[in-house]
Amino acid sequence: MAQRPDYQDRCAEEGKRFLSHGSSSADLDSLTMIRGTLLESMRLIPPVWMQGRQAVQDCEMPDASIRRGDLVYMPQFLLHRDPRFFEHPDDFLPERWTGSFERGLHQFAYYPFGGGPRICIAEEFAMAEMRIALAHFLAQWRFQVDSSEMPALNPFITLRPKNGLKLRISRREGPNYKEV
């Protein structure tokens, strides 16, 4: 988002509206741009870039056979960029996250919190917490990076910038950005 000030400003305005009237958890649904931005960010750079599972039964596919007990790796980083599921898969498009898009999306085309019986039980809490935190941060602060280049990534257990990420943080000013 620091590379896209247009989306950052839209989310900041949404956050200001949310915070200005003593919002509660019931108002979280009003943070549609912030939610879309978070979902799109986790699509392009999923926190966990690949998950492994052990096959519980044999499975035949056109180009492979999986036997019970085999380890199967599911790379979210690649699946979240699959053009069968995502139009313009390499572009940052938070507005894609509409109800109709999400309802039409294959169950395992997007799974930043895992899926099936091993899905993260804190997914709803984490999404609520991230929306509230982002609303607060962006309502008061602007984040900038020096480069529009995507940083090199370090795929360990979690996916992170290889050499860190340097941000310039400045306080938002003007009539629409009063202290919250």
Q: What is the pTM of this model?
A: 0.88
Higher pLDDT, 147 or 177: 147
Higher pLDDT, 177 or 85: 85
Share of the chain above pLDDT 90, in %: 67
Per domain, the residue ranges of the chain are 5-46+77-171
Structure tokens at 77: 């980083």
For residue 7, the model assigns a pLDDT of: 94
Q: Work out the pLDDT band at 179, boundaries 50, 70, 90.
A: very low
For residue 176, the model assigns a pLDDT of: 52
Structure tokens at 148: 């529009």
Q: What rounded mean pLDDT belongs to the chain?
A: 90
User: HEC states along the chain?
Assistant: CCCCHHHHHHHHHHHHHHHHCCCCHHHHHHCHHHHHHHHHHHHHCCCCCCEEEECCCCEEECCEEECCCCEEEECHHHHCCCCCCCCCCCCCCHHHCCHHHHHHCCCCCCCCCCCHHHCCCCHHHHHHHHHHHHHHHHHHEEEECCCCCCCCEEECCCEEECCCCCCEEEECCCCCCCCC
pLDDT in tens, 114-153: 888 888 999 999 999 999 999 999 999 999 988 777 788 9
Region 44-62: mean pLDDT is 92
Sign, CA dihedral 156-160-161-165, equals negative
